Structure 1
């Protein structure tokens, strides 16, 4: 059992079969039929003109940022944003793009007044503010549809573009019980990670208008992201979006079971009302030696990331029974 992240999901047997049998070509030449089919299908399904298959969510985000911003430009984001905090400074290092983070609110949103206050005036002393980047879900929290509509109004007012790091955007759609287009409609570009809860082995998508995606495709080549017979992976990516979305509801239900179980353990402090999708955080008392507990769990085939607060992530390879086992083993070792 591995509770570290939903990135540890293994591909389904259907994905393995699709990988073995996918028709392929050279994607750099635009000749891979499986990639072409996935990109066309994904663009239509999400309400965009075009899509680009990429090797990772980090690459897809970087391509989105670099397609919108030139050297010396700036993007607005949250302090907890993955493309600011956890992607090795790629926008700055590779795109010469300045991030301007603001503190995320407790619900994961960004305050529009705070964002407005950091937009740079038209003056050659300053970086040029060009883009607002949001993340949905963020730390497992879902951005409300009403907030996304406000974000669209905000960027329109200030002449900015709007990008969504949608690594777990399908978790958001499932939690809200809406079609994915209800979220996607507000954004100029959006990424989708296929290799988290959706279980594909590799890959993410960047979606946007044709001009932006064509620019991103050129940058992908520059960054070494042009792949050849990658239809093998695109075939699994298509199944991630057509066969695995329903699993996310199960993951969310398991997260609820887990958080309510953790609430009964001594030394664990949780807020069940904040668990909206498949990610659970717990604050630990000083009495909890989580490093020692993690080492003991590892010997019994249970993997967690020792930290405080500690994060648990549910996914298709964690069953309801596994939640019971984890809670039982934690109780034994406290």
Structure 2
């Protein structure tokens, strides 16, 4: 019984040695190829890529050191058992190969099952995301406008209107330097196809809230509106021009508030504001103001597109390096199994939970 166990250990050691020689050749070749590729791309990659590459090379070196240590120990055992191996070598080798093949089949089936389950979950999530995308996009537009107004006019009181509550989407209470409210602007945001039916409700909300002005910000405007226009008593503009229009409206509200303080009648002041907002002078002033904003925006977008091209190129390079490292580690796992030391940043759950 002791001789049989010794032969078994000797055969296993012999097989392990042969596999390790093959592994060492593959790893050596693969590491050299990856190192050459990394050297060529190193100057173009960002600091984060360099850091990850260095960590990966350190992990590979640690793995090679561990493999060499295992090889040295196995060679020492092989010297002691070589004399007793000849008779049982072929039988044990075939048994080991058959067991490995069966284990690989089970692993492949389990991985296929996990992949199938994951794909089903992804499809389910896609359906849920599509169902909520319209609502979320509208909320994102509203939140973005709210945040931009708060940043542009920190002295004003800007609050969202709760769902189901009359009064548009956002209420901007314009305050003067003394902190007193000079007027109120109601903002309504829309992403859907343009509809004139939105306007009566917004006019009613404006009256109910006692607001000075109401602005409808829509991603889809009528063909005859380029920047903004007054439609049925409501200012209509696109998201692109919203902040620029807000600056002019806020200034007008402040001027009217000052005039109301000095004037003898409120009706005349409101009529002046209404006529001014519909006048060519106000439109020309807004367009001149926006030309400067548009020029700055075009410069910014040019810089953004340039950076996005650089980021995209580096992202592809990073993914290639990460994929190569993962593939190499997977090949080593397929050959060595659990005897391969674990590298957390590269290892994946294989589903192999059986006891040794």
TM-score normalised by structure 1 residue count: 0.26
Larger Rg: 2
TM-score normalised by structure 2 residue count: 0.25
Q: Which of the pair is proportionally richer in strand? A: 1
Q: Which of the pair is proportionally richer in helix? A: 2
Whose RCO is larger (CA < 8 A, sep 6+)? 1
